[in-house]
A and B are shown apart, each in its own frame.
Chain A
């Protein structure tokens, strides 16, 4: 097990190297000069050249890359050109908000998607089945940012306890306070703020989970051992929950992992709509400002988190189904 994890971690290295080169080329070959954007419309040519020299943008590309790489290997992702703050700081202060949004979105998606999928599969052909399938299809076809806009104007404006924007306190912190001090207010305040953006993002994922759970349940329910169990006279509900669900969840877990990764950076527009202080917004603004160090560091961090999540998925796979071996 440990050997497997180590091997997977080692395999990440060339991948990350490749990503860093790709991103480096992508941003440095694109039109747009970070120094000009920093200086604004009133810059003189002399100032532009002076700052380019200060930041080392006048050096050949490969030298700039190796400079960046050698710093990155020592854990230094550089300093934002525009803000003058270390990229590690900028990323870490937003990581909490992004993870929180992703986690709550996943929870919503899972909490609604899996039961819906199960019911749909068990009551195949019923009204519930049709309803959940239609819901799933519409959900997967709706762009999250548009849903967000609609939720803002049609829900948040009418429901007093739903705020319009922003984040208020960390949910993780709120949970901790709930456990240690038995106070629920901080957690609630956090949840109140995260709810709408999480629904906007989670809906698409819920749809995917519902569909997958349903089809995967149907497949398992058709298998011989389930039929045998039923024939043996085991209670129907027990069969469904204990035996079938366990096996049916395997593909669902995989998709949760992949979707979780996509959520980390994919919620860019939704983050903007709700003024959520996440990593996606940071990176997209950096792309617009050609703030190279942030783009480089941010994408790299996303890739690392994504790879780690996938690793976690593969491990949890084994926990659900011990028959899978690592080799």
Chain B
């Protein structure tokens, strides 16, 4: 009968599965917070996709774990004196996974595809200053710019090169080839992506023959799976509250490094009370950064100061600091002519639990000094539409990641015509600085001065209230060696071929 069969099956399972073979030393299992949308670097925008793409393909230059630009497919590069030509010298002897040689034509093909308005490349704007791409010979390629753009290299580092001879294949996005250390074998979406070592990788044969990515959306589940040994390693989405326990456990290694992003309060600077800078400053004084970082984020990250990450040379440490100070906030409101109960604001955020918590804390703090804040947690789609398409909000909470240079960190957000200036902030001097900064060599003192002044304006005028800088956390078992957590999640596994698994 059915019942008896079931019991027998159960018994067999219990007995037969005494020793389960977990991922063995031939296979590295990497956990990931979400499934990749696709594997075509020309089309993707999300970190989970690039986490995987950067194992299969490579850009011309890449950021190492200290955020220095280092050679990848290009061994060397130089700007012309007029800053209008950028020339790359390509690595020789590199082969695509199908055995064909990698040449300058592939570089030209990739960027021309992105720049072609008939293609649905979302990041075209990053390369819009490129006028023409010239193949000098098989291993030299030049980008000719319409006007100087000092930070173009950083953008080029974000675009892995796709093969000219294969990139138009219809299923390229699902089954791409590249030049990277691992080749894609099989991809079962929402389940696993299986890769095998590229024996002929130019950077040396990978140490571990097989690589598997598993997508586990729930942070709690991913951690449980890690502790049970079902995954070996992951970066990002480590539950903050569990960190002390994990750090104390000798079986695990926790690695931390300052990230490239931040969370912020965005203000609608055009309507109502918030058009008065004093009110924005008052709200800024209500953010309990210390408390949020230590308790909500369990010390992952640091209190936010300005738009430029602390690790970049352009970071200005001397800007005004807004320490948590409700009295000061009250005073500023009084100066602006508002008493308790006069101001009511609508704050929007998406379901990100940390943001919801920050919203609740701010709501509570504001209530203490007689400012009413209504919180609306919207679904990501509706939320994005609201802040991008309408001005039907007072405050919103969002985050930026991948702020690798000051231009990227400010011009879209705070320039009067910036694509992401959702709060409609406008300041003439700032516009000038941000436009001028793009034409100055990034390693010059002038560049640093320009962007330090720009940060001063942004922090004083509070189009954003900066909450916290992000921190990247990587977690692996102690038998994993030769891996370092990367400040930018997308680059987490770019050197995966060096990892050793000792068990």
Contacts and interface: CB of A to CB of B under 8 A. Distances in A.
Most buried by B among A47, A94, A195: A47
A156 interface: yes
Interface in A35-85: 36-45, 47, 50-51, 54, 82-85
Given A32-B381, A32-B384, A36-B384, A188 B13 contact: yes
Interface string B6-21: 1001001110111010
B381 A31 contact: yes
B221 A275 contact: yes
A214 interface: no
B190 A164 contact: no
Given A51-B120, A275-B221, A161 B386 contact: no
B45 interface: yes
Contacts of A83: 37-38, 173
Contact of A33 (B3, B12, B389): B389
A149 interface: yes
Interface string B177-219: 0000000000011111000000000000000000000111110
B43 A84 contact: yes
B104 to A, nearest CB: 28
Contacts of A211: none
A32 B190 contact: no
B12 to A, nearest CB: 7
Interface in A180-220: 184, 188, 191-192, 195
B369 interface: no
Contacts of B2: 110-111
Contacts of A115: 3
Contacts of A84: 38, 43, 173
A31 B382 contact: yes
A260 interface: no
A111 B6 contact: yes
B271 interface: no
A23 to B, nearest CB: 16
A277 B188 contact: yes
Contacts of B20: 160-161, 192
Interface residues of B, number: 56
Interface of A is mostly: helix
A157 B221 contact: no
A124 interface: no
B214 A166 contact: yes
Interface in A247-279: 272-275, 277-278
A184 B123 CA distance: 50
A31 B385 contact: yes
A306 B174 CA distance: 30
Contact of A31 (B227, B386, B412): B386
A136 interface: no
Contacts of A111: 2-3, 6
Contact of A282 (B174, B190, B220, B230): B190
A152 interface: yes
A290 B381 contact: yes
A230 interface: no
B13 A149 contact: no
A40 B122 contact: yes
Nearest to B380: A288
Contact of B388 (A36, A274, A278): A36
A165 B230 contact: yes
A152 B12 CA distance: 22
Contacts of B221: 152, 164-165, 273-275
Interface string B99-119: 000000000000000000100
A228 to B, nearest CB: 27
Contacts of B94: none
B190 A40 contact: no
Interface string B245-288: 00000000000000000000000000000000000000000000
Contacts of B384: 32-33, 36-37, 41
A31 B20 CA distance: 48
Interface string A210-249: 0000000000000000000000000000000000000000
A156 to B, nearest CB: 7
B416 interface: no
Interface centre among B16, B123, B228, B384 (most CB of A within 10 A): B384
Contacts of A156: 224, 228
Nearest to A159: B14
Contacts of B38: 83-85
B380 A42 contact: no
Contact of A42 (B120, B123, B228): B123
Given A167-B191, A275-B221, 20 more contacts: A31-B381, A36-B385, A36-B388, A39-B45, A42-B45, A42-B122, A42-B125, A43-B419, A44-B125, A85-B173, A111-B6, A161-B13, A166-B216, A195-B13, A273-B218, A273-B221, A275-B216, A277-B189, A288-B381, A289-B381
17 contacts: A42-B412, A51-B120, A51-B122, A82-B37, A83-B37, A90-B189, A94-B189, A152-B221, A152-B224, A163-B228, A166-B214, A272-B217, A273-B221, A275-B214, A275-B216, A277-B191, A289-B381
Interface of B: 2-3, 6, 9, 12-14, 16-18, 20, 37-38, 43, 45-46, 117, 120, 122-125, 173-174, 188-192, 214-218, 220-222, 224-225, 227-228, 230, 379-382, 384-386, 388-389, 398, 400, 412, 419-420
The 4 closest A-B pairs by CB, nearest first: A32-B381, A277-B190, A164-B225, A161-B17
Interface of A: 30-34, 36-45, 47, 50-51, 54, 82-85, 90, 93-94, 97, 107, 110-111, 115, 149, 152-153, 156-157, 160-161, 163-167, 184, 188, 191-192, 195, 272-275, 277-278, 281-282, 288-290
